[in-house]
């Protein structure tokens, strides 16, 4: 099973991704975690990423793609994986398709979209910020993150729908209810 998790920030991708890891016994690959891991391991792409991060710059797409490719070559991904945070746009999705083919791996099996209304996302993230004391999650910042997601990442829904790989899952309810919906959809 090769799964791409899609959903706005706060839609529950991280939580549901961990539940899918336990269920399918395959690794979840978060681009943030993969970047930090590559930097810590000192891989060639990790060295490039560290230089960009130390300079206070965004890590370039080609470095992120390279780090994902390094990660997908590790033995634990041979039987599948769950991607969280990659691809972020249609260009990256096309690169991922080519990368998997080049690596001799099967293509993405499914893209799971956790559908949650924007106002529910704002409420969830404001609540999380309050509970966790996160001063960085202010409403204007949250709304901007949603705008970025809607502009850059939401077009992936059509990309995967055209490949007949998209499953829309209602992201409202208890964690177990949502998880059961995902498993039923897969």
CATH fold, domain 2-26+79-185, is: Rossmann fold (3.40.50)
Residues found in the chain: 186
pLDDT, tens only, 126-139: 998 888 876 667 88
pTM: predicted TM-score of the whole model, two decimal places = 0.86
pLDDT for res 46: 84
Q: Give the residue from 29, 24, 11, 9 showing the smallest Cα distance to 175.
A: 11
The arithmetic mean of pLDDT across residues 175-180, rounded, is 97
Rounded Cα gap, residues 93 and 99, in angstroms: 10
Rounded to the nearest integer, the mean pLDDT of the chain is: 91
pLDDT, tens only, 39-70: 899 988 888 888 877 776 667 888 889 889 98
- As annotated, the active-site residues are 13, 88, 128, 134, 145
pLDDT, tens only, 94-110: 999 999 999 999 999 99
Region label for 82, one of left (φ > 0), alpha (ψ between -120 and 50) or beta (otherwise): beta
- The verdict on whether residue 77 carries a ligand-binding annotation is no
Rounded Cα gap, residues 23 and 88, in angstroms: 25
Residue 185 CA, chain-centre distance (Å), reads 18
Is 90 exceeded by the pLDDT of residue 27? yes
Q: Give the residue from 144, 95, 100 showing the smallest Cα distance to 122.
A: 144
Instruction: Locate the domains of the chain by residue range.
Output: 2-26+79-185, 31-78
- The verdict on whether residue 13 carries a ligand-binding annotation is yes
- The verdict on whether residue 109 carries a ligand-binding annotation is no
């Amino acid at each position: 099973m090769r799964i791409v998790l899609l959903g706005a920030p706060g839609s529950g991708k991280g939580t549901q991704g961990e539940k899918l890891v336990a269920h399918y016994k395959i690794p979840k690959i978060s681009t943030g975690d993969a970047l930090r891991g590559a930097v810590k391991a000192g891989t060639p792409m990790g060295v490039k990423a560290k230089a960009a991060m130390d300079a206070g710059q965004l890590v370039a797409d080609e470095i992120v793609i390279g780090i994902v490719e390094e990660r997908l070559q590790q033995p634990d991904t041979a039987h599948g994986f769950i991607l969280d945070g990659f691809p972020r746009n249609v260009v990256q999705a096309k690169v991922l398709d080519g990368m998997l083919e080049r690596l001799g791996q099967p293509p993405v099996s499914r893209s799971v979209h956790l559908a949650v209304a924007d106002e529910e996302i704002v409420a969830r993230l404001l609540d999380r910020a309050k509970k966790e004391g996160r001063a960085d999650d202010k409403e204007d910042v949250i709304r901007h993150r949603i705008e970025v997601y809607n502009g850059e990442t939401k077009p992936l829904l059509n990309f995967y729908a055209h490949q007949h790989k998209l499953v829309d899952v209602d992201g409202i309810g208890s964690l177990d209810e949502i998880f059961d919906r995902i498993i039923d959809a897969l």
